[in-house]
Amino acid sequence: MKYFLVATTIALTGLFVGSGVGSYFTSSQLLKQFQNIPGSPVILNATYDKDKHTITYTVSNPGTVPITVIEKAFVFTPGKESREKEYVISNIPANITIPPMSVTMIKLKLKEGTESLKYGDLIFATFTYKHSLSKDIYTVVHSFKYGSEKVEKATVNEGKGEESK
């Protein structure tokens, strides 16, 4: 019995140590490979701030390499309710670094002197970014239509109501 116990203890300890050493080497190699995956930024959300006249984009970097946003640009297309004309602002310098696997806010200031966004206004934002693994420059384009579905429904109902009256 004791012989069996001693032999089993030795065998189990050997298995534990061996699996520990093996998994250490495997995981460290995997970690090295994993540290060099560049991700393209994902824009999760965009919100408009009326007082500051800015749009805040919530941008996530799913890769394991930091991403630097170099430039911002946007195209403003007015909706039916807006009296503003269409305009383009490009080459807004930005130097925002998004750390790997994290979320950052990027603010886009609209043209000064223009009136605040109305329902149906469309904003095409273009972010130019690069990462350390290559010299290439990439862009990501995001369209943002002001006004949520709830607002749309409400306005539609109001319109119907007015018609019926």
Residues at the interface with another protein (CB under 8 A): 2-3, 6, 9-10, 13-14, 17, 20-21, 24-25, 28-29, 31
Q: How far is the CB of 148 from another protein (least distance, A)?
A: 41
Report how far residue 58's alpha carbon sits from residue 56's, in angstroms, rounded to the nearest whole number.
Answer: 7
Q: Determine the Cα angle at 124 with ends 110 and 122, to 5°.
A: 80
CB of 26 to another protein, least distance (A): 10
Least distance in Å: CB of 27 to another protein? 9
H runs (alpha helix) in the chain: 2-34, 149-164
Residue 9 CB, nearest approach to another protein (Å): 6
Residue 54 or 102 having the CB closest to another protein = 102
Are 65 and 36 a contacting pair, CB within 8 Å? yes
In 3D, which of 101, 110, 120 has the Cα closest to residue 57? 110
Q: How far is CA 32 from CA 26, 83, 86, 100, 142, in A?
A: 10, 55, 48, 14, 32
Q: Which two tokens stand for residue 110?
A: 């609209």
Q: To the nearest whole angstrom, how small is the minimum distance from the Cβ of residue 20 to another protein?
A: 6
Task: Give the residue with the Cβ less far from another protein, 1 or 136.
Answer: 1
Nearer to another protein, 23 or 54 (CB): 23
